[in-house]
């Protein structure tokens, strides 16, 4: 038996042709990372009709984009003050966000091609300008996501020019991303601190701002792949093999698992973590 469409409230937006998309876009881009905000806008514009309609039509969305589509609609529902009703409707229809199973994760591990990542890294160096090379070096040694890395790189330059770098780089040599919550604490994708050699930060401080799109276009013109995202994977794997425990790597890459031990009892020494991190990074080139 077909379920009836969700009941509409008098205050609910039912005609998205006259919806204030510009205000919604400003809200989304202020709240989420630029690349993810663009994804949200794409799928909310495409599937907004499903917000109050027959949710069974969500099953017709291609599996490859279904998760992002559902997440985008959830975000739109929050903006419209309709979140609880929409989540309840998803539950009634038995619609859930798909999570990769263990076999998918195993396949990713088994078929990864990180073994030739450093050959790729060396091959693209002549293509990049000095500032872009420096950004990639920063991503390689910090394990940041590319969006976070670009923001952080440019933030170091900005604050150094203003004589305020100590607002970001503390006396113990830790970059405190958490001091800039709007840029680095974004809900599901956060980053709190980074530990990289001071010499690298000094080089960044006197360089020029960079953007990811410029690097991507340079590589595309020369028909070279962008594997920048793989630098983060390689960082995590390397650091676990060279002296850091998994929880420490998670912390440096912005993951704080929902474990009682981690959230309530684990108290790492950040100075000691700094020393071991820098020691591991010094071995990365040799490895």
Provide the pLDDT for residue 11. Answer: 47
* CATH T-level fold of 112-282: hpI Integrase; Chain A (1.10.443)
Spatial neighbors of 85 by CB under 8 A, at least 6 apart, are 6, 77
Neighbouring-strand partners of residue 176 = 193
Confidence check: pLDDT of 14 > 80: no
CA dihedral 183, 168, 286, 247 (to 10 degrees): -60
- Global confidence as pTM: 0.76
- pLDDT tens, position by position, 211-240: 999 999 999 999 999 999 999 999 999 999
CB count in 10 Å sphere of residue 24: 20
Confidence check: pLDDT of 123 > 50: yes
Provide the pLDDT for residue 102. Answer: 67
Q: How wide is the angle at C-alpha 120 spanned by C-alphas 119 and 125, nearest 5°?
A: 100
- pLDDT tens, position by position, 43-89: 999 999 898 877 889 988 988 889 999 999 999 999 999 999 999 99
Provide the pLDDT for residue 7. Answer: 44
Confidence check: pLDDT of 4 > 70: no
User: With helix as H, strand as E and coil as C, how does 52-83 read?
Assistant: CCCHHHHHHCCHHHHHHHHHHHHHHHHHCCCH
User: With helix as H, strand as E and coil as C, how does 97-108 read?
Assistant: CCCCCHHHHHHH
Per-domain residue ranges for the chain? 21-92, 112-282
- pLDDT tens, position by position, 160-217: 999 999 999 999 999 999 999 989 987 778 999 999 999 999 999 999 999 999 999 9
- pLDDT tens, position by position, 15-52: 788 899 999 999 998 888 787 889 999 999 999 989 88
């Amino acid at each position: 038996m077909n379920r009836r469409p969700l009941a509409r409230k008098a205050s609910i937006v039912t005609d998205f042709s006259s919806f204030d998309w510009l205000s919604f876009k400003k809200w989304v881009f202020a709240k989420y990372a630029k690349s993810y905000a663009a994804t949200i806008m794409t799928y909310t514009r495409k599937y907004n009709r499903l917000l109050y309609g027959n949710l069974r039509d969500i099953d017709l969305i291609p599996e490859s984009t279904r998760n992002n589509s559902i997440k985008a609609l959830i975000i739109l529902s929050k903006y419209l003050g309709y979140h609880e009703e929409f989540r309840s409707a998803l539950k009634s229809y038995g619609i859930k966000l798909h999570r990769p199973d263990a076999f998918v994760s195993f396949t990713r591990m088994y078929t990864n091609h990180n073994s030739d990542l450093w050959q790729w890294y060396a091959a693209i160096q002549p293509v990049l300008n000095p500032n872009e090379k420096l950004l990639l070096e920063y991503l390689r040694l910090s394990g940041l996501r590319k969006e976070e890395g670009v923001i952080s790189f440019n933030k170091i330059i900005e604050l150094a020019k203003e004589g305020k770098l100590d607002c970001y780089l503390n006396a113990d040599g830790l970059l405190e991303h958490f001091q800039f919550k709007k840029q680095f604490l974004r809900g599901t994708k956060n980053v709190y601190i980074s530990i990289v050699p001071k010499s690298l930060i000094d080089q960044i401080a006197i360089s020029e701002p960079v953007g990811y799109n410029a690097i991507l276009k340079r590589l595309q013109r020369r028909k070279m792949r962008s594997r920048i995202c793989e630098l983060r994977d390689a960082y995590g794997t390397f650091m676990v093999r060279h002296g850091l425990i998994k929880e420490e790597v998670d912390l440096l890459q912005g993951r704080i698992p929902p474990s009682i031990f981690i959230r309530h009892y684990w108290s790492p020494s950040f100075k000691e973590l700094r020393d071991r991190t820098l020691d591991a990074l010094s071995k990365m080139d040799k490895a």
